Structure 1
């Protein structure tokens, strides 16, 4: 019997899949709800300090179930856009700069944020190992990428290629091909996130890119010093800060 291919509409409608008796979270629907609420906050429909509509009202407006909406609201809380007050509801805590909607591809914001979570885990451990295993050649590649990033900052250029080269070199220095393979499997998503954050930084004062470069320098110094714990921490702080910078306030 020929295998039937599901349409996107059919996949979206299947919100009750279960595995081993436990529901599988529908990322597609919750991501859509998440991104629509982000857009409403960015466009000022929900101002900072304003209470969001009730779950019942929001779920009807967004045409999603309340469990799906709760997944979206949970992600918004983790991103620092809303805050819950017990017995009162959810309130807008931060309004991102409108540029985030200009630079992020449609429907990509949730994926970008999850890519940062992936990177914090993978690249943090890669930096830890790189500090213990790096060779002189590895250090030269890292220094070259860092110097090119420095040039980009001074010239007010985007610098995505140099940023990617710096992070890829750290995975190579970890001397474990699976770090590079795992990162390469997400490369398109990673580049999308880098392009977004660096474009957003270019709309800010030069001090923003200098701050980011300072984070790169902390990683480089820790790896040079063979301080594995410091390298892991510096990388995780850098990637987590990048995730937060997506939603820096307007």
Structure 2
């Protein structure tokens, strides 16, 4: 039996395809739930789960008494790096990372050593170099995040993250490739988020470390959907 979660992801991806191909343009009202259920051949609870995720991803917005409207869609370049069928999985991986890495950063701030800080600083300098040279920087980005899990000194964070390595690298490749299609300020913004995490860990501010990491991963999730938006 196919689980509702899987059905909802499929519905999510099919709606996303309709938005990407212009069947439901940005700025337009979504079809009714009845019409979508018929089109997608899913139950109302499954559809509502898919719509809830689209709202969470800031792809659609619900307006009381009016319905749901498309407010953004992935950049077209996203399809060069990740097929539509993988986007739901990439987004769920970001949710996993926010939970796991947020707590790892919290503990890293409490337990870090000078050697840990020197390692993180060295990785950040490598990421600075990648930005200057116009390189992707996925390897260094992954090393930075894994180093924070290791700094927590709890091997379960490292093991949990390692178990999702393929999914995580797919998401990193997508978001960093998308950033390379933008002005350099986009990657500099991502790097500023890395530095905010580093500073909080350096200051031994556990709460700020958790907040900075969660904000960074959440921002990465939303950067997948920084394509067309309606004019105000």
TM-score category, normalised to shorter length: over 0.9
8 Å CA contact 1:52, 1:91 repeated in 2: yes
**Taking CA–CA contacts closer than 8 Å with sequence separation of 6 or more, which of the two structures ends up with the larger relative contact order?**
2
Query: Under a length normalisation based on structure 2, what TM-score does the superposition of the two structures give?
Result: 0.94
Distance change >3 Å, CA 174–CA 74, structure 1 → 2:
same
2:168 alignment partner in structure 1: 190
Deviations 1:29-48 (A, max 9, x none): 11111011112212222112
Query: Under a length normalisation based on structure 1, what TM-score does the superposition of the two structures give?
Result: 0.87
Tell me, in whole angstroms, the C-alpha distance in 1 between the residues paired with 2:5 and 2:79: 20
2:183 alignment partner in structure 1: 205
Q: Does 1:167 align with 2:145?
A: yes
Q: Does 1:216 align with 2:194?
A: yes
State the superposition RMSD in angstroms. 1.3
1:246 alignment partner in structure 2: 224
Q: Does 1:156 align with 2:128?
A: no
The number of aligned residues is: 228
Tell me, in whole angstroms, the C-alpha distance in 2 between the residues paired with 1:131 and 1:125: 10
Deviations 1:192-225 (A, max 9, x none): 1101100111111110000000000111111112
Structure 2 residue runs without a partner (length 5+):
none
Tell me, in whole angstroms, the C-alpha distance in 2 between the residues paired with 1:95 and 1:185: 30
- Structure exhibiting the larger radius of gyration computed from Cα positions: 1
8 Å CA contact 2:74, 2:225 repeated in 1: yes
Q: Give the deviation of 1:93 after TM superposition.
A: 1.4
Q: Give the deviation of 1:105 after TM superposition.
A: 3.6
2:91 alignment partner in structure 1: 113
Tell me, in whole angstroms, the C-alpha distance in 2 between the residues paired with 1:37 and 1:159: 32
Segments of 4+ moved more than 4 angstroms: none
Structure 1 residue runs without a partner (length 5+):
1-13, 16-24
Q: Give the deviation of 1:49 after TM superposition.
A: 1.8
8 Å CA contact 1:124, 1:236 repeated in 2: yes
1:55 alignment partner in structure 2: 33
